[in-house]
Structure 1
């Protein structure tokens, strides 16, 4: 009898452990931002004894997509994804979609997300492939100390921002006078593909046509390259490969148009010498480069109702605690947070960048957009670094290569 009682006590104590649902949450957060997510997960696990979130980090986009593809085919994928938006196109048919009403039942207002961030995530019948949580957006980082040396108002980019092309070039010219020989005021490497795309959008172009059948970068790409060539002639922009981060941190360079993920580290490192402002608008179209982490759910992994409910409990928690995630150095995908006084008071530096989200642009949802961009880069280098091609020649050649990738894709999947 005593043994039976002991057995029953052990069984009762073990029931909560038996009933706990384990959810794997795969993210690409291999940097310092992963620690912020770990803290959110820890708080969730402490307050939800029936659910355990396990954080699986896969930093490389290629490895992330390979792991997801294998998991879907073998029904062993993570139940929830925190996935870069531009990594999603190959898997859209495998994601659980939601109507606006379904999301509202879970307390998620999809209308609170900026439309530009949702672009490409909506099915033809109005359902959603995922829920964008943040926006990693470009902004202008600059050295206030160098502005002062050049006789410039160190708060000019913030007061006047976003600077237009004329203002920006005039600032570069003033900074040229205090820039060491061999360095450049705008110290970005000429071959950075995301910078090219950022400018491409500002000059009215895109990588592909809206139907994904033809390249759309040639004319705007020529304008971008000619603009950068003019800056090179004045010694304002590099004509050689450059390690942008250390150059900026040392003060040899003064300006970078770069991603929001750099803002927290540089605030810590440079203190009062560091300035931040909206990205300048250098072309004819108001635009800023951005991307997003999206919550997506492989539908093959949530066929069980209990699992699905546990997953959505976690998703709702992330939605409700999004501002804790933004502390990692991300800008909000949600209008109500991006424009709130609470966000402005807690994160004034991120608030400045967040005011650009209404005109952010993200990569088109074409499965091989990265491959096309990789083929364009060598031609950018031939113009800006090797000086072996004109902008017209380079973009014409790049256009032909891009068309081959597009044609191969459509020949494989059909019309």
Structure 2
């Protein structure tokens, strides 16, 4: 009996030593990128016998925010959030923060190495409350074979508005009826925001008190209508992936997350390049996944040490994460020979990283995006409103959202 008790005690101690502290990380990662993260987590767990990281996936932004809100209130939130940056504004004051010097001296993370546009909005009262791991930006995917068929240089894709329009017109003769060379969904709001920034616009004023998109938004809508009139952009809602993958359409300006699967599917016909500049301002749509710690979950110094150990591990092994189809948030990696040699496609597209523009850190930015989408459909899909009338109505609707927000805050 005594021997049995000793054995049980030994097992308990062994299990306690093996697992030590368990840290939960919640992320929106599904599919292939989630599998990449699972591999990184598994390697970390193998290398750190005293820390176990559990990766929990919640894809929906709404569901993630609801779980985070309830978790903070009840102190049952994950210790680490791998969260989309535009989902963070409501929680900025609830995340554990450190000064740039503290991040560097205590945890070995140089936040000055992060592209400024990506770090913007994550500093609260002088403390950095989130570490951006990546940038998911827009790039131009194109079919090299189709370019060659019409005499376009497949290794010199268009970079300016004039070059882009000219190239799309050249591709018209080989584009099947019912499709367009640039086969993109005109109702996809992210494309409109991308072009808004390229036309020097912004969604809201710096103080978040008024809309700021009307003038540039009109110009963007006019550009998109012009492309529709020329037959190079669809008039109606489109599902572009299948047509591009089949080679029937030739160009997409889309997210970096598509680059690896299309490389595998299209082979030598697949071309990739930085997004062309279709406006008067060098800019590209982007977002980030950010590592952040709910403060109520890391009050215990041992838990904080375990959480920051994993964050530092991801920081040090971030190039493994970029294989999933993300570009670096860190300048040193974006410019490195290692990235150029290991992931040349990511390296090529990441040369636009310094021009990345992201949604402003306003708590109701998703609601504002949805409101603008209503009027973009009227202008670009239903063709029932002029750009001027549609943008005026959109600005009025957004102002109502802002006025209501500020009346309650």
- TM-score normalised over the length of structure 2: 0.97
Which of residues 336, 356, 360 is equivalent to 1:364?
360
- Match for residue 207 of structure 1? 203
2:59 is paired with a residue of what secondary structure? coil
Deviation at 1:260, TM superposition (A): 0.2
Give the length in aligned residue pairs. 406
Superposed, 1:232-271 pairs within 5 Å as: 232-271=228-267
- Match for residue 38 of structure 2? 38
Alignment pair present for 1:116 and 2:117: yes
Alignment pair present for 1:178 and 2:179: no
Deviations 1:78-125 (A, max 9, x none): 0001000000001111100111122112111111111010011112x3
Deviation at 1:7, TM superposition (A): 2.6
Superposed, 1:286-301 pairs within 5 Å as: 286-301=282-297
Deviation at 1:126, TM superposition (A): 2.1
Which of residues 337, 341, 344 is equivalent to 2:340?
344
In structure 2, what is the Cα distance between the partners aligned to 1:101 and 1:6?
A: 52
Superposed, 1:303-382 pairs within 5 Å as: 303-382=299-378
Contact kept in structure 2, 1:23 and 1:53, CA below 8 Å: yes
Deviation at 1:61, TM superposition (A): 0.7
- Match for residue 21 of structure 2? 21
Alignment pair present for 1:101 and 2:106: no
Alignment pair present for 1:131 and 2:122: no
In structure 2, what is the Cα distance between the partners aligned to 1:240 and 1:294?
A: 35
In structure 1, what is the Cα distance between the partners aligned to 2:199 and 2:45?
A: 47
Contact kept in structure 2, 1:16 and 1:50, CA below 8 Å: no
In structure 2, what is the Cα distance between the partners aligned to 1:234 and 1:90?
A: 43
Deviations 1:184-222 (A, max 9, x none): 111101000100000000011111011100001100000
2:286 is paired with a residue of what secondary structure? strand
In structure 2, what is the Cα distance between the partners aligned to 1:373 and 1:64?
A: 19
1:177 is paired with a residue of what secondary structure? helix
Deviations 1:148-204 (A, max 9, x none): 1111111111xxx6x011111111111112111111111101000100000000011
In structure 2, what is the Cα distance between the partners aligned to 1:196 and 1:24?
A: 36
In structure 1, what is the Cα distance between the partners aligned to 2:14 and 2:303?
A: 16
Alignment pair present for 1:302 and 2:315: no
2:217 is paired with a residue of what secondary structure? helix
In structure 2, what is the Cα distance between the partners aligned to 1:244 and 1:16?
A: 54
Deviation at 1:252, TM superposition (A): 2.0
- Match for residue 395 of structure 1? 391
Deviations 1:280-329 (A, max 9, x none): 00101100000000000000001111111111111111111111111111
Deviations 1:379-407 (A, max 9, x none): 11111121111000000000010001111
- TM-score normalised over the length of structure 1: 0.96
Contact kept in structure 2, 1:382 and 1:394, CA below 8 Å: yes
Unaligned 5+ residue runs, structure 2?
none
